[in-house]
Each structure stands twice: as structure tokens, then as C-alpha cells.
Chains A and B, each alone.
Chain A
């Protein structure tokens, strides 16, 4: 609860982080929750912040830079 509140306080959209308690016997609940989570996240679209630029992208940019000169 504290964790979810804090991360949403820092700008994570509500609906992106889900918590659930599913027993190994509750396969139908598992399917329901997975469907809910994926549709909620598809609706929100790709996340723009709290996403780190991969090192490969930085390297590509650097080589581009060299190519120009």
C-alpha cells in the first residue's frame, strides 16, 4: 500500500501497477486478472518516464554524431 501510493505519488499512472493474490487453484481468476492487467496497460500506452535510455541507443546516437562530422 505504501509502495503503491509512493510510486503513484511520483507520477506512475494509476492502473499501471497491479497487485493480486491468486491461489494455484484459481486458474479462472488468474486468466481474469491477466486480461484485466493487459487491457488496462494497453489503454494507458507505452510509459514515457521512469524508462531508462538503453545504452545501445546512446551508443547509436554517439556514432551518428561521429558520422556527421
Chain B
């Protein structure tokens, strides 16, 4: 994946010089290791800031909402699916976009590495298969597969679904992946056990809304959690308020979530919030045969009506 950098810079520079785009959205090195940050490049001489490695887990589709400029955007598989979703939801026009497709081999899990590493992380270096972490005089090496983000290990759409240029040959998609093992396990336990499981899961939530901010689907001018007239949800640390927030946040992503993992990556407390969105994703697949962001022509299940829609629960 590291060889992608030169190609990304070359394409971005070409676009900016020709005036094809007004800006390129990509990643630059973050101020902390494991945390590359999004950046908007407007001048050809700045393209050298662009980077690509296994720390580009943020979803760049988040920075497209309602933009009017012509934009070049670096997109891995999940970003491209969220771009499609943005186009469907009229948040950006396809004609405005020049998508620099990046066949992705997975991003590394910053929470996992932080938990495994005994000291403060000062530097993270990678080659094609290994991650070398150093800090406080300690050095530790992992194979990339060991520290992959969980959503990347079960990803079946690593290649971008829409693109104008590719930075490398498409990668082989993972086959025979059991995407919903954890969800089935939770579905199988009793209501009391579920209650305890979610109480425990969400107990460390500090209501910072980083999961919402990182999510490309959350673009309402006033989010339901910020509104005070009417106040849709309690703003306290009461477990019920926390649970209500997470329930509603997830539900707003129904039929729209691509399981890009940006929410979980952003969570400062390391809460596995994807457990909720993935349940909806599973149901959308099973009930409506729907996978988000695969086709610009198709409408999401909650935006369409069909007489065949499952309705066993309505008496």
C-alpha cells in the first residue's frame, strides 16, 4: 500500500494543475502516530503533504457534504460506498467528483495497538506486512493481520465501487467471510443478558459524540442530540439516556451504514459501537437484500416501499 503515495500525489498534482478540480481531499501525516488526518489540498505544490498508509481509517466522504467545488477525493472501498450514498442522498453530485480509487488492504486498529503496547507510542513504521511500533525505549513488531481493524478483517468490498482513476491494480476481495458471527451470538442470548451486555458495553460512554462526528452519514444541520427545542433525548450520563442516544444514532444509519468503522475508530473510550450498526446492516441484507453504496441508481430500503416488504410484526 505504501507505493500508493507517489501515485496519489501524481494524480492529485495533475488534477490541480489542469484545473480539473479545485481541491483534493486526502490524508496527511497526523500529529500523533496512528492518526493520519484528513486534509484539503488546493495548490499543486502542496500535494507532497498527501500520504497513504494503514492509518487512514477516517472516512473522507464526511468532508464532501454540501460542497459546491469540484473535488478530487482519495477513496478506499468504504469511502467510495459512502460517496455513492452521499450522491444518492443529494449531498454531492457525481459530476463534481474526481475519485482517486485506492484498493485497500485494511487499516490498523489504533485501540488494539495502544492496548497492546506497554509504553507511550512514539513512532509507528510499516512495510507491506509488518507494523513496527516504538516508544519509551521499547520496540514491538506485529504482522499487519494481527492488528487489523475488526471491520477490515471482515471487509468484502476493499476495492472502490466508483472511481475515475485507480492508484494500483484492484486487490482480491476476501471470500467466505462470516461477517455477522458476533451479531448472531448477541441475538441468541436472553433479553436480560442482552440488557446487561449493552449496559456494560455503553457504560464508559462520555457522550462526546465523536462517533457521530466521524460518521459520514451524520450531516443534519442540527443533530437530534444537540436540539433542545424539542429535546429528543436526555443529555445526562444516566444509563438510559446513553442507551437511547446509541440506539437512535445507530437507527439513523439503518440502510446507510457501510461498516467503515470510523465511529469505532473515533471513540476515545474504545466502545465497540459497530455492534449496533452492524445489526442493522445484517437485517438490511437479510430482509431487503440490501448492501449500502453499491449502486448509484438504487434507493435505500427505508426510502422505498414495496408490497413485498417484510411485515410479520404488524398485526
Residues of B within 8 A of A36 (CB): 315
Residues of B within 8 A of A3 (CB): 251, 254
- Closest Cβ of chain A to B53, distance in Å, is 35
Contact between chains at B302 and A2 (CB < 8 Å): yes
Contact between chains at A7 and B191 (CB < 8 Å): no
Residues of A within 8 A of B301 (CB): 2
Bound complex: CA of A10 vs CA of B251, how far in Å? 12
- CB-CB under 8 A for A52 and B238, given A2-B283, A7-B247: yes
Question: Is residue A4 contacting chain B, with contact meaning CB distance below 8 A?
Answer: yes
- Closest Cβ of chain A to B224, distance in Å, is 15
Question: Is residue A5 contacting chain B, with contact meaning CB distance below 8 A?
Answer: yes
Residue on B nearest A20 in the bound complex, by CB? B315
Bound complex: CA of A12 vs CA of B244, how far in Å? 12
Residue on B nearest A1 in the bound complex, by CB? B310
Size bracket, chain A contacts: 20 to 34
- Closest Cβ of chain A to B232, distance in Å, is 14
- Closest Cβ of chain A to B179, distance in Å, is 16
Question: Is residue A28 contacting chain B, with contact meaning CB distance below 8 A?
Answer: no
Contact between chains at A11 and B191 (CB < 8 Å): yes
Contact between chains at B314 and A19 (CB < 8 Å): yes
Contact between chains at B191 and A13 (CB < 8 Å): yes
Contact between chains at A52 and B255 (CB < 8 Å): no
Bound complex: CA of A33 vs CA of B312, how far in Å? 15
Q: Interface segment, B97-105, B123-131, B193-201, B213-221? A: B193-201
Residues of A within 8 A of B302 (CB): 2
Contact between chains at A4 and B192 (CB < 8 Å): no
Residues of B within 8 A of A6 (CB): 247, 250-251, 254, 276, 279-280, 283
Residues of A within 8 A of B280 (CB): 2, 6
Interface centre among A3, A9, A51, A53 (most CB of B within 10 A): A9
Contact between chains at B315 and A9 (CB < 8 Å): no
Residue on B nearest A33 in the bound complex, by CB? B315
Contact between chains at B314 and A52 (CB < 8 Å): no
Residues of A within 8 A of B314 (CB): 19-21
Bound complex: CA of A24 vs CA of B198, how far in Å? 39
Question: Is residue A50 contacting chain B, with contact meaning CB distance below 8 A?
Answer: yes
Bound complex: CA of A9 vs CA of B185, how far in Å? 11
Contact between chains at B198 and A1 (CB < 8 Å): no
Contact between chains at A9 and B240 (CB < 8 Å): no
Give the contacting residue for B195; candidates A11, A14, A20, A52; CB below 8 A: A11
Give the contacting residue for B192; candidates A7, A10, A11, A20; CB below 8 A: A11
Residue on A nearest B284 in the bound complex, by CB? A2
Residue on A nearest B193 in the bound complex, by CB? A11
A1-B287, A9-B194 are known contacts; what are 17 more A-B pairs with Cβ within 8 Å? Answer: A2-B251, A2-B255, A2-B287, A2-B302, A6-B247, A6-B283, A7-B247, A11-B195, A11-B196, A11-B198, A14-B191, A20-B314, A50-B243, A50-B244, A52-B240, A52-B241, A53-B238
- 14 pairs from A and B in contact (CB 8 Å cutoff): A1-B312, A1-B313, A3-B251, A6-B283, A10-B247, A19-B315, A21-B315, A49-B199, A49-B239, A49-B240, A50-B240, A51-B240, A52-B234, A53-B240
